[in-house]
Structure 1
Amino acid sequence: MQLTNKQKQHLKSLAHNLKPVVMLGSNGLTEGILAEIEVAIAHHELIKVKIATDDREMKQLIADTIADKVSAVKVQVIGHILIIYRPSEDKKIELPRK
């Protein structure tokens, strides 16, 4: 799924007031963490994930892996926070047209 810049801006504005629902700790990306992310994104469509690492390359690798594993779109990575979006069947979030 590809998002336009306008759609990404809309999702960023919606995510601004959200708190991270999943936090990666020292154990890194485990199957349990992926399961929690899957449950959260299925329920909310748009979530924040906190990635606790200072290595930029590792952070990007983890963000890309999460988005790939849960079939979501990586909206933004800013600081230690990853914002991902995946529409559900209920379509809770209405995206602007292209």
Structure 2
Amino acid sequence: MKSAELKPTVFIGKNGITEPVISEVKQQLNARKVIKVKVLRSAKGEMDRKGIAEGVADSSGANLVELRGNTFVLSKI
């Protein structure tokens, strides 16, 4: 499946990158290998979208595959 066809399954809101978000990303990566994450408008105050994407990838031990608009794709290492 191409990354453009994926639906976002994790959403990052006003609380930003939290432990529950990282835990959910890890669980979904174990189950699916590739996931799409959407950054909601309310989350953009603390970091830019690239910083959020890189932070989630680093914290969850994943590869950042693609960053487009407010969504990004992660794959399991």
TM-score if structure 2 supplies the norm length? 0.85
DSSP-derived class of the 1:16 partner: helix
Which of 6, 22, 29 is 1:34 aligned to?
A: 22
Q: Does residue 53 of structure 2 align to residue 63 of structure 1?
A: yes
DSSP-derived class of the 1:27 partner: coil
More strand by share: 2
Unpaired runs of at least 5, structure 1? 1-12, 88-98
The one-character-per-residue Cα deviations of 1:56-83 (angstroms, maximum 9, x if unpaired) are x621111111111111111110000010
The one-character-per-residue Cα deviations of 1:11-65 (angstroms, maximum 9, x if unpaired) are xx6222110010011111110111111101111000000012457x621111111
Unpaired runs of at least 5, structure 2? none
Whole-Å separation in 2 of the counterparts to 1:18 and 1:60: 19
Report the RMSD for the aligned CA atoms in angstroms: 1.7
Which residue in the other structure is 1:9 paired with? Answer: none
Following superposition, which runs of at least 4 residues in structure 1 exceed 3 angstroms of deviation?
Answer: none
Which residue in the other structure is 1:81 paired with? Answer: 71
